[in-house]
Amino acid sequence: MTKIKVCKVTELAPGAAIRIAAGPEPIAVFRLNDGFYAISDACTHAQTSLAAGDVDLEDCTVECPYHGALFDIRSGRAMGAPASRPVRTYPVKIIDGEVFIEMESVDIG
Ligand code: FES
C-alpha cells in the first residue's frame, strides 16, 4: 500500500475539495463534516472533474459540474442521472495533521 500526501488537515474546509494527480488516475479528496474522503476524480458519465463540483454537506454528495450527476462522496455510488456507474473510493488516513490517500500501487513517473 502506497501513501500519497494530499495536504494539511487545516488546508481544506468542510465542503471543499482538492484534485490530486499523483497516481494512476486523478483523485478528488473532499472534506465533509465528519472527515476526509477520496474518490476517483473522473465522473463516470463523461470524465469531468468531480473536485470542481458542488458539495452538499448534509447529503454528503457532489454534483458533477458538467451534466449534474450526483455521487455519494463516502461510497462513490452514482445517485442521479446521467451517471449510472460508481466512482472508485480510496482509503484516507490522517497522520500528524496531514491527509494521505492510500493506493494499492502507484507508478509515478
Ligand atoms: S460528465 Fe458528469 S454528468 Fe456528464
pLDDT at 109: 45
In a 10 Å sphere around its CB, with 0-12 CB exposed, 13-18 middle and 19+ buried, how is residue 85 labelled? exposed
Which ligand 1 atom sits nearest the alpha carbon of residue 43?
2
Give the pLDDT of residue 22.
77
Q: What is the CATH number of the domain that holds 73?
A: 2.102.10.10
Substitution site in 66, 79, 84, 85 for ligand 1 pocket (most atoms within 8 Å of beta carbon): 66
| pTM, two decimal places | 0.93
- For residue 108, being part of any structural domain is answered with no
Residue 109: inside a domain: no
For the chain, which residues score pLDDT lower than 50?
A: 108-109
Position 57 in a domain = yes
**How many domains in the chain?**
1
